[in-house]
Chain A
Amino acid sequence: MHRFFILVVAGMTASASAFADDHARLHGTYAFTGVSLCIRDSASLGFDPNFAAKGRVKLFSYTVEGIAVFHADGTGTSNSRAYSVDTGGGETSDSSFQFTYTIGPDGKLSVKAVPGTFTDTILTGPIAGLTQVVDVADVSGFISEGSRSITLAPSAPTVLMVTRSDGGQYAQICNQSRTHIRISGDDR
């Protein structure tokens, strides 16, 4: 009977360690969704240092759904579909990029896109067929117990540049909120 309790306690400790390890390093495949609201200006005008637009802006909302893979070595990939709506119509696009992540001593997760890895193709809407490169904002957030879910959001405004295959260039500021749920412990 004593051996039974020792085994149970040992099992519980091992399980707790696994969760702790999960927190130190993530590994797994997560589905994510979220929303953003953006303002966009021409790149030639852009924004003041206090993030006020220098010209007339277009306001748009987009929602996103996709898959993020976190590897234990601190790298990862994101593949998603965005659905954007503004007064000019609705459009969807598929994008992907690589990222690196760190987990602070307070358990806070920080995620940064790897420069030069972003690709995006516009699928539907008035400018379907164009491709674009869009800066990806740094985001940070929290990992839930057992690493079953993750929340992420940008902690400060950032001016993000957009460069389209038709030569159009824009500057935009977007808030965002993302929730990730683990769909597999596999990170391939």
Chain B
Amino acid sequence: MHRFFILVVAGTTANAAAFADDHAGRLHGTYALTGSSYCIQDSASLGFNPNFSPKGPVASFSSTIEGVMVFHADGTGTVTSRAFSVDAGAGSTGDSSYQTTYAIGPDRKLSVKAVTGTYSSTILTGPNAGLTQVVDVPDTSGFIGEGARAIILAPPTPTVLTVTRSNGTQFARICNGSLIATRISDDDR
């Protein structure tokens, strides 16, 4: 009987320790990701003023995203996702991937940054299907749920993002965003 209690207590403690480690220092696992954003886009030659107002006429579009986000315990990770964009002219989809680094602050706030030079994207459907593009990824921050079962992320401040397409066109854009990631596996391979 005593052994049973010891086992139960040991199991409970080990479980709590795993969650505590997840929160205190490092995430590790595979998360399914979804969310949406709304963007305005200008030609890169015009761009935006320092107060984030556009210097020329903008196109606006909404995009939703679904993908997989992997967090490694060493503070790195990867994102692979499909975006579905809709504007007044058409709908289009694109697949993208990039590497990330992340940090967890003393307040347990999570910060995620894309690793420069790792982003790749191919436009699959819509008027620009077949093009590839490189798009700046905004820094995001957010919170880790109990037991690291879920994570929310959003860009905390406006950032002007540059888009460079394989046909030579360049754009500047500003996008808000809301992302939620739910753990689908402890495996981070």
Residues in chain A within 8 A of chain B (CB atoms): 3-4, 31-35, 37, 61-65, 67, 81, 83-92, 123-126, 128, 148-149, 179, 181-185
Q: How far is the CB of B125 from chain A (nearest CB, A)?
A: 23
- Interface code B178-189, partner A: CB below 8 Å = 1, 0 otherwise? 111000000000
Tell me whether B52 and A179 are in contact (CB under 8 A). Answer: no
Residues of B within 8 A of A87 (CB): 40, 54, 58, 60
| Interface presence of B102 (CB below 8 A) | no
Tell me whether A181 and B145 are in contact (CB under 8 A). Answer: yes
Tell me whether B156 and A92 are in contact (CB under 8 A). Answer: yes
**Chain B, Cβ-Cβ closest to A60:** B38
- Interface code B132-159, partner A: CB below 8 Å = 1, 0 otherwise? 0000000001111110011111111110
Tell me whether A65 and B142 are in contact (CB under 8 A). Answer: yes
**Chain A, Cβ-Cβ closest to B158:** A90
With A61-B176, A83-B177 given, can you name 7 additional A-B contacts, CB distance below 8 Å?
A35-B176, A81-B156, A85-B175, A88-B53, A89-B51, A90-B176, A179-B152
| Interface presence of B37 (CB below 8 A) | yes
Cα-based distance from A62 to B38 in the complex (angstroms): 8
- Give residues of chain B (30-67) contacting chain A, Cβ–Cβ below 8 Å: 35-40, 48-49, 51-54, 58, 60, 62
Cα-based distance from A89 to B54 in the complex (angstroms): 6
**Using a Cβ–Cβ cut-off of 8 Å, how many residues does chain B contribute to the interface with A?**
41
Tell me whether A126 and B53 are in contact (CB under 8 A). Answer: yes
Tell me whether B152 and A83 are in contact (CB under 8 A). Answer: no
Nearest 9 A/B pairs, CB to CB: A61-B38, A31-B143, A181-B145, A90-B158, A89-B53, A65-B154, A83-B176, A63-B178, A63-B176
Residues of B within 8 A of A86 (CB): 40, 60
Q: How far is the CB of A179 from chain B (nearest CB, A)?
A: 5
Known: A31-B152, A148-B146. A91 touches B52 (CB 8 A): yes
Cα-based distance from A1 to B58 in the complex (angstroms): 72
Cα-based distance from A148 to B180 in the complex (angstroms): 14
Tell me whether B1 and A181 are in contact (CB under 8 A). Answer: no
Residues of A within 8 A of B156 (CB): 65, 81, 83, 92
Cα-based distance from A37 to B38 in the complex (angstroms): 9
| Interface presence of B174 (CB below 8 A) | yes
**Chain B, Cβ-Cβ closest to A65:** B154
Cα-based distance from A168 to B52 in the complex (angstroms): 21
Residues of B within 8 A of A185 (CB): 146
What are 17 A-to-B residue pairs whose CB atoms are below 8 Å?
A32-B152, A33-B180, A34-B178, A35-B36, A65-B154, A65-B178, A81-B156, A84-B176, A85-B39, A87-B40, A87-B58, A89-B40, A90-B174, A124-B52, A128-B51, A181-B146, A183-B144
